[in-house]
Structure 1
Amino acid sequence: MRILLVDDNKTNLSLLTRLVEKLPDCVAIPYLHPEDVLADAPALEFDIAVIDFQMPVYSGIELLTELVRFENYRDKPVVFVTADTDTATRMAALNAGAIDFLTKPVNPLEFQARIKNLVALVDARNKLADKAEWLRIEVEKAVVELRAREEEIIDRLTIAASYKDFETARHTRRVGLYSEAIARAYGMEARACSDIRLASPMHDIGKVAIPDAVLLKNGKLTEQEFAAMQRHTVVGCDILRESKSSLLQLAAEIAGSHHERWDGQGYPFRLSGETIPVSGRIVAIADNFDALTSARPYKEAWSVDRAVAHIRERSGSHFDPRCVAAFDKALSVILEIMETDRRESLLSVPTSCIPVHAGCSQSKESFERCRRAISDARVEKNDGPLTVAMMTSPTTQNYELENQPTALQGR
Structure 2
Amino acid sequence: MILTTLQLEEFRSYRRLSVDLPAAGLRIFGQNAGGKTSLLEAVYLLATMRSPRASSERETIHWESGVELGLPPYARVAARIRHNRHETDVEVVLTVDEERGGALRKRVKLDGRPRRAIDAVGALKVVLFTPDDLNLILGSPSVRRRYLDITLSQIDSTYLQALGQYGRLLEQRNSLLKELGGRRPRDERAIEDQMAYWDAEIVTRGAYLLAQRLRYVHEVDRVAAEEFRALARTEDRLGLRYSTTVTLPDALRERVVESTLADAQAFVARALESDLHRLRPDELRRGVTLVGPHRDDLHFLLGGHELSAYGSRGQQRLAVVATKLAELRQVVASTGERPVLLLDDVLSELDPEHQERLLAVLGSAGCQILITATDRALLDQPALAALPLVEARNGTLVWVEGEEASQPSEHG
TM-score by length of 1: 0.25
**Structure with a larger share of its residues in helix:** 1
Bigger CA radius of gyration: 1
Compare relative contact order (CA 8 Å, sep 6+) and give the higher one, 1 or 2. 2
TM-score by length of 2: 0.25
**Structure with a larger share of its residues in strand:** 2
